[in-house]
Amino acid sequence: MKSSSVEQLILDLYAQHSTEEAHFTAQEVYHHIKPRLPSVNQSTIYRALERMTRAGKVSVSDMGLGAAVYEAVGNEHHHHLVCQECGRVQTIKDESVGRLFRQIERENNFEVLTNHLVLFGRCHACRSKSDPD
Amino acid sequence: MKSSSVEQLILDLYAQHSTEEAHFTAQEVYHHIKPRLPSVNQSTIYRALERMTRAGKVSVSDMGLGAAVYEAVGNEHHHHLVCQECGRVQTIKDESVGRLFRQIERENNFEVLTNHLVLFGRCHACRSKSDPD
DNA sequence: CTGAATGCAAAGACTTTGCATCAGC
DNA sequence: GCTGATGCAAAGTCTTTGCATTCAG
């Protein structure tokens, strides 16, 4: 099936950014697309993102921003560490995560579809600042 | 520091449920507390939950309900598998998750504070139904 | 022609906030 | 009296939805 023009623009947006850093809220996607397609409406963005999520083209997750973030689904899975104090986001590539998911699938008879793990905590800088162990 | 009466009622609510199943949205907490403390206001619940989260008494996570869910922080960490098709929630206790978190902490110099992992996917029943591998 | 995608406007849901009041120390 | 907690009402965001229109096959 051919993608709608909006879907293509969304994919272009992701293509313009490094895979690991490209995670946008629906609102951010909207503000990026709007200048390229001035007639576009917010609801169209929400509907396109939902369609693409169902189709496995993008994944959605909660990074603690009060809004869902979407990113393109690529071959390389990666995960994020979000600092609750300074908001810094670190990207980690960790095969261990995939291994754990496979193990959980086996042990629980459950197909894990989450492919983007977001963990919250405190980054090194914030730990050094407030609580020098 | 002494807890406010609202905090105590919230803790009571969690005490009344098995630790593993007690995850409520702020709205659900409100509707549980309201009959016990009719004067209570929604904003008080939100403020109490935020305070308790900061104090490490409850943890917050996104279970795909469109609202944050809060649960009491206990000694035993547990995690949830949420079926995207039927909504079923499975609880898993998995030391592997804790081990992975510790490993991520070491490798990334980051203190992981997330202690409740939520993974989305398809449960056994839904897999059998729609896609008998 | 028919189903999917879109625009538009409105509504819905969750959450936050400013301000006044109240309670505890 | 001061600080934190609460009530109240309003606003702010994010997101969904109903309906009419347009687009593609």
pLDDT digits (tens, 9 = 90+) for B40-53: 999 999 999 999 99
Residue A47, CB, less than 7 Å from strand C? yes
The pLDDT tens digits of the residues spanning B119-131 come to 999 999 998 877 5
Put simply, the answer to whether B96 touches A111 (Cβ < 8 Å) is: no
Residue B53, CB, less than 7 Å from strand D? no
Predicted local confidence at residue B3, as pLDDT = 67
Domains A1-75 and A76-133 share a fold: no
CATH architecture for residues A76-133: 2-Layer Sandwich (3.30)
Predicted local confidence at residue A131, as pLDDT = 56
> Residue A133: which pLDDT band, with cuts at 50, 70 and 90?
very low
Tokens 């699938």 belong to residue: A105
Which nucleotide across the nucleic acid strands is nearest to A51, CA versus C1'? C5
Domain boundaries of chain B, sorted by first residue: 1-75, 76-133
Predicted local confidence at residue B78, as pLDDT = 87
Give the CA B39 to C1' C20 distance in Å. Answer: 16
pTM of the model: 0.89
Q: Provide the 10 A C-beta neighbour count for residue B35.
A: 8
For residue A87, is pLDDT > 70?
Answer: yes
User: Rounded to an integer, what distance in angstroms lies between the CA atom of residue B27 and that of residue B94?
Assistant: 29
The pLDDT tens digits of the residues spanning A11-24 come to 999 999 877 678 99
Give the CA A25 to C1' C16 distance in Å. Answer: 19
User: Rounded to an integer, what distance in angstroms lies between the CA atom of residue A46 and that of residue B48?
Assistant: 32
Q: Which of B12-16, B30-34, B50-54, B85-89 has the lowest mean pLDDT?
A: B85-89
Structure token digits, residue B9: 């009622």
Q: Which CATH number fits domain B1-75: 3.10.180.10, 3.40.50.2000, 1.10.10.10, 2.40.30.10?
A: 1.10.10.10
